[in-house]
Amino acid sequence: MSKLLHVEDLNIEFHDHLIPETVVYDFDLDMEPGEIVGLVGESGSGKSMSALAVAGLLSRHDMKKRGVIEFEGKNILSCSRSELRELQGDEICMIFQEPLTSLNPVKKIGWQVEEGLKIHTDMSPEERKKRAIKALEDVEIEDAQRVYDSYPHELSGGMRQRVMIAAATIGNPKLLIADEPTTALDVTVQSQIVELMKKINREKKTAILFISHDLSLVSALCERVLVMKGGYVVESGSVKEIFESPKEEYTRKLIDAIPKCGSTEDLVENGEPLAGMKDINVSFIKRKGKNKEKVHVLKDISLDIYEGEILGLVGESGCGKSTLAKTLLGLIKPDTGHVSAKFPNTQMIFQDPYGSLNPSKTVGFIMEEPLRNLTDKTPEERYALSKEMIEKVGLSEEFLQRYPSELSGGQRQRVCIATALMLGPKLIIADEPVSALDVTIQAEVLKLMMKLHMEMGISFLFISHDLRVVHQMCDRIMVMKDGEIVESGDRVKIYENPSHPYTKELLKSAGLGPGGVK
């Protein structure tokens, strides 16, 4: 059987600067029909660029491509736009990382799912609709008829990604390119999407090029893996080979970065709670037209955080984790109940390091802000303290002059942590502090938090949906579902012997569970 895809010596250069910048060097890839290949690497490693080039979507005029990309013997790089269009959406389809923004917000789902058929076939509208509903059902959307008539904003992230998959597979493409399709999703949804892609591969014999920075997902789905770094393919081989005997230092680093369980020393709980809440109820009034709906977000929550511990709070998005954090900090006033946390002894780090720093202020200004507002320290003292803190989080003094836009995601989160340290807190509430970061950078930020915990004795309330990260970091764990704490206790107890069905489900979808590490 002939090759489906043959890529040889692919080089991609950007020409928008004075000196051309090469982002992909000598990329080789061969795919057989029906094969699943994983492409792993950090952001900026060139994996998305290579994939976009294969899909014929790199058409910017400031970009130069050299090499061969043959799809069923046809050279994609020398194709005209109209020849390319024949393939795109018909033989080669793509799924993108952000299901929230990859769908057109003002078009109905049905219209978008059918679009490929409209372009590439001459089916009648009725026939197209039938196929679209079938495609939606194939991706396990139960209420396909209703979803067909919905708009993207009416669906959850996971549902939108299913819709994207339905739209990409409606014309039975020979090659499906999935560019980080699960990164923006909850961990339970992630495993469902991976299962779905396996099913499509099995039933429709679609070859899949699966791009991800998450080696554990790739290992669950793919047969073969290519590891990319700095534009080069540094290693390739079967999943088994790569995992068991990684040849490159970088591959080993990626494997080590998969959070593993059972690596923290247990810290003994001390008697006196540092902060806590008792019988907290929080509800919001949600207006929907005339009807006011009361949404009960937190239900009878009681918890204590002890000095010197890291308390993990896990649960899916929307379960009330962030509301709990904000209530503890005093940003939300509870309906009933009592909160005992003292500001400024309690500080918070937020999920999105891109959005939570004011882009028009320097890092130094942002860091000194709490001191300016709450203390009467002189400018020199303020500067000295921010210098000390920025060095504590592993950045140098010169970062104080920079603007947030000049920093990477990991550096920004370090700045957020340094800012939280400025007032000498005893407790830091970290709300999904690493979810927006690459996996290797995640590991570094987690290491930093661990270091601060050990050296400065800071307690953490660590909020996350990633059970592996929580297991690595925390002493005690609380599991939250729909505004209630369904289970809490010692880390080992929860991971070895979960009692609540929801905890079991969470552990299972994270590839964990009784028995420990996968």
Footprint of other proteins (CB under 8 A): 55, 57, 84-90, 93-94, 96, 98, 101-107, 115-116, 119-120, 151, 153, 164, 167, 288-289
- CB of 94 vs other proteins, minimal distance in Å: 4
Of 193 and 420, the one with the shorter C-beta distance to other proteins is: 193
- The helix/strand/coil state of 437 is coil
Q: Which residues contact 88 (CB under 8 A, 6 or more apart)?
A: 55, 56, 57
Of 58 and 434, the one with the shorter C-beta distance to other proteins is: 58
Largest CA distance in the chain: 76
Alpha-carbon span 424 to 433, nearest angstrom: 19
Of 27 and 96, the one with the shorter C-beta distance to other proteins is: 96
Of 91 and 496, the one with the shorter C-beta distance to other proteins is: 91
- CB of 79 vs other proteins, minimal distance in Å: 12
Q: Verify cis geometry, omega within 30 degrees of 0, for the bond prior to 152.
A: no
CA dist 317 → 20, 214, 321, 418, 471 (Å): 42, 20, 8, 26, 18
Alpha-carbon span 73 to 65, nearest angstrom: 18
- CB of 176 vs other proteins, minimal distance in Å: 11
Q: Which amino acid is at 139?
A: V
Q: Which amino acid is at 90?
A: D
- CB of 116 vs other proteins, minimal distance in Å: 5
Torsion sign over Cα 49, 53, 56, 58: positive
- CB of 422 vs other proteins, minimal distance in Å: 36
- CB of 200 vs other proteins, minimal distance in Å: 17
Concatenated DSSP letters of 46-112: SHHHHHHHHTT----TTEEEEEEEEETTEESTT--HHHHHHHBTTTEEEE-S-TTTSS-TTS-HHHH
Of 101 and 263, the one with the shorter C-beta distance to other proteins is: 101
8 A C-beta contact, residue 95 and residue 116: no
- CB of 90 vs other proteins, minimal distance in Å: 6
Helix %, strand %, coil % for the chain, to 5? Answer: 40, 25, 35
Distance between start and end Cα atoms, the chain: 36
Of 98 and 352, the one with the shorter C-beta distance to other proteins is: 98
Total residues belonging to the chain: 518
Of 46 and 56, the one with the shorter C-beta distance to other proteins is: 56
| Bridge partners, 237 (sequence order) | 225
- CB of 498 vs other proteins, minimal distance in Å: 38
Of 101 and 145, the one with the shorter C-beta distance to other proteins is: 101
Place of tokens 């999920």: 351
- CB of 5 vs other proteins, minimal distance in Å: 16
8 A C-beta contact, residue 208 and residue 176: yes
Token pair listed for 28: 């080789």
- CB of 23 vs other proteins, minimal distance in Å: 17
| Bridge partners, 427 (sequence order) | 346, 459
- Residue from 470, 422, 482 nearest 310 by CA: 470
- CB of 298 vs other proteins, minimal distance in Å: 25
Alpha-carbon span 513 to 188, nearest angstrom: 14
Of 125 and 516, the one with the shorter C-beta distance to other proteins is: 125
- CB of 77 vs other proteins, minimal distance in Å: 17
Of 105 and 515, the one with the shorter C-beta distance to other proteins is: 105
8 A C-beta contact, residue 269 and residue 309: yes
Alpha-carbon span 412 to 401, nearest angstrom: 13
Of 95 and 448, the one with the shorter C-beta distance to other proteins is: 95
Of 25 and 151, the one with the shorter C-beta distance to other proteins is: 151
Q: Which amino acid is at 419?
A: T
8 A C-beta contact, residue 129 and residue 115: no
